[in-house]
Chains A and B, each alone.
Chain A
């Protein structure tokens, strides 16, 4: 079953640059879809279209269609606040809000009007467990989140998204600043999470793409070159350019 369907999507920024040119593909539910390719290929622009964070940039035009279930995400009248609860995002640099660990996790629920203490507490515990951080921080939830290590902060960012119980989780190079052990923990939690969520990951390396992908999309200079299952993409790609990139001939 497809969770998201992208049809003929073209984005244009105010300086005329088109980060995405007429791309189309589907994202299946409850799988990890990996969007990879060299820098400047439009990966982040694509992710930011899926929760309309592009609205905060100087984007001037989006053509085509993005359907989440059956809802058109490019509709200007769409309630983006509601959308961002359904489609959560983890950024490359772990940015914890200047609040306690607990408040970082409940922030999204509280701005949405949740005041029930028990529900908030439950969201804190379950989101921290899902992001494999509970054991490390359960005794100091009221400490400032900034005091945590980089790897822990990135898992707070993941937990912050999960606390909202979204349907789709976007991850933009979530492990680019992390050591191998923290990276392993994040990748491990992703495998557990796909039972409940549709996951779209921009990996920080081809190796990570190969380790994690159920489905892989190769994006090059704003165009989709190949969409394939993770197994085939990294062992037997159909396109010469995909093969060249995976084998390190460019990028």
Chain B
């Protein structure tokens, strides 16, 4: 006689899987609760709209918030058109040959490069060679290069998910390839593309290493007023106040972490909303 019946084995299996799922969720929820618990007391109007004072141990983090906003915007300006454009080319126009495969492999591998390497590359190319200095421009360009692979692969995936039959039908009634892409393929792929773009930008907003050598400043008394200015930024500021400033009040550290978390999670929320709306309206 078997030790366990099939039904018992199935029940045991399901229980184990459920348990594993809960185990993965616990640390995620734990992190969020911990940061809110320690950081929330720091959140007040002065913290969000003021400059750091007293060797950063008092005051606010406005320059870091503004800086991260500018950097995310700058990254979007460079990475979004470039990424979507090359994804359209790769998915719709590129011939299926060695060169295309090579490009695709290169893009996939770019996604795996450690972010500090991008930082060094940005320092070499944008800051020094092209002479942009440590500036929002250099930082945005570095973050763009890091973000491109994410945007390209998710956009390509979204384009590929549009049924081939739509393309055939569109061209069979006399549309050109470009009309087919613009009027049928892109509108259908748009939610997927937007999701990819936002997830890519979200990663850019939270990264420290690429901005370390290219844009981020320890402390600045003024807000940046040109793309060629350096700026403070949330992830780097968090690093600085956690490791470089002795006697730092813990609530300011966690308050900064909380602001960064909210910034990134709200982008995530937008992406998720777009995706679920689009799923509900999907026409195939």
Binding site for B on A (CB under 8 A): 51, 53, 56, 81-82, 84-85, 88-89, 91, 93, 95, 97-99, 107-108, 111-112, 144, 146, 157, 160-161, 164
Q: Return the chain B residue nearest A87 by Cβ.
A: B172
Specify which chain B residues have a CB less than 8 angstroms from the CB of A111 in the assembled complex: 170, 173-176, 179, 183
Q: Are the C-beta atoms of B174 and A108 separated by less than 8 Å?
A: yes
Q: Are the C-beta atoms of A81 and B168 separated by less than 8 Å?
A: no
Q: A81-B176, A91-B165 are in contact. List 5 more A-B contacts (CB 8 A).
A: A85-B174, A95-B165, A95-B168, A98-B166, A98-B184
Partner of B174, one of A91, A93, A98, A164: A164
Q: How far, in angstroms, from A85 to B174 measured CA to CA in the complex? A: 6
Q: How far, in angstroms, from A98 to B170 measured CA to CA in the complex? A: 11
> Please, how many residues of chain B have a CB less than 8 angstroms from a CB on the other chain?
20
Q: How far, in angstroms, from A181 to B183 measured CA to CA in the complex? A: 34
B103 at the interface (CB under 8 A from A): no
Q: Are the C-beta atoms of A107 and B170 separated by less than 8 Å?
A: yes
Partner of A56, one of B163, B166, B168, B187: B168
Q: Are the C-beta atoms of B165 and A164 separated by less than 8 Å?
A: no
Q: How far, in angstroms, from A47 to B277 measured CA to CA in the complex? A: 40
Q: How far, in angstroms, from A89 to B170 measured CA to CA in the complex? A: 11
Q: Are the C-beta atoms of A97 and B166 separated by less than 8 Å?
A: yes
Partner of B172, one of A88, A93, A99: A88
Q: Is chain B's interface secondary structure helix, strand, loop, or mixed overall?
A: helix
Specify which chain B residues have a CB less than 8 angstroms from the CB of A91 in the assembled complex: 165, 168-169, 172
Partner of B175, one of A95, A108, A146, A157: A108
How many CB-defined contacts (below 8 Å) exist between A and B?
Answer: 64
Q: How far, in angstroms, from A164 to B167 measured CA to CA in the complex? A: 18
Specify which chain B residues have a CB less than 8 angstroms from the CB of A56 in the assembled complex: 167-168, 171
- Whether A98 touches B183, Cβ cut-off 8 Å, given contacts A108-B175, A111-B173, is no
B283 at the interface (CB under 8 A from A): yes
Query: Which has the most chain B C-beta neighbours within 10 Å: A81, A97, A108, A112?
Result: A97
Q: How far, in angstroms, from A161 to B174 measured CA to CA in the complex? A: 10
Query: Which has the most chain A C-beta neighbours within 10 Å: B167, B168, B170, B173?
Result: B173
Q: Return the chain B residue nearest A107 by Cβ.
A: B173
B188 at the interface (CB under 8 A from A): yes
Q: Are the C-beta atoms of B165 and A93 separated by less than 8 Å?
A: yes
Q: How far, in angstroms, from A95 to B171 measured CA to CA in the complex? A: 13
Q: How far, in angstroms, from A95 to B167 measured CA to CA in the complex? A: 10
CB of B170 to closest CB in A, whole Å: 7
Q: Are the C-beta atoms of A53 and B173 separated by less than 8 Å?
A: no
Q: Return the chain B residue nearest A145 by Cβ.
A: B283
B284 at the interface (CB under 8 A from A): yes
- Whether A146 touches B284, Cβ cut-off 8 Å, given contacts A95-B169, A107-B170, is yes
CB of B179 to closest CB in A, whole Å: 5
Partner of A98, one of B173, B179, B284: B284
Q: How far, in angstroms, from A107 to B170 measured CA to CA in the complex? A: 8
Partner of B171, one of A53, A146, A160: A53
Q: Return the chain B residue nearest A86 by Cβ.
A: B174
Q: Return the chain A residue nearest B165 by Cβ.
A: A95
Specify which chain A residues have a CB less than 8 angstroms from the CB of B188 in the assembled complex: 98
CB of A227 to closest CB in B, whole Å: 26
Q: How far, in angstroms, from A164 to B283 measured CA to CA in the complex? A: 24
Residue interface bits B108-144, CB-to-A below 8 A is 1, else 0: 0000000000000000000000000000000000000
Q: Return the chain A residue nearest B175 by Cβ.
A: A111
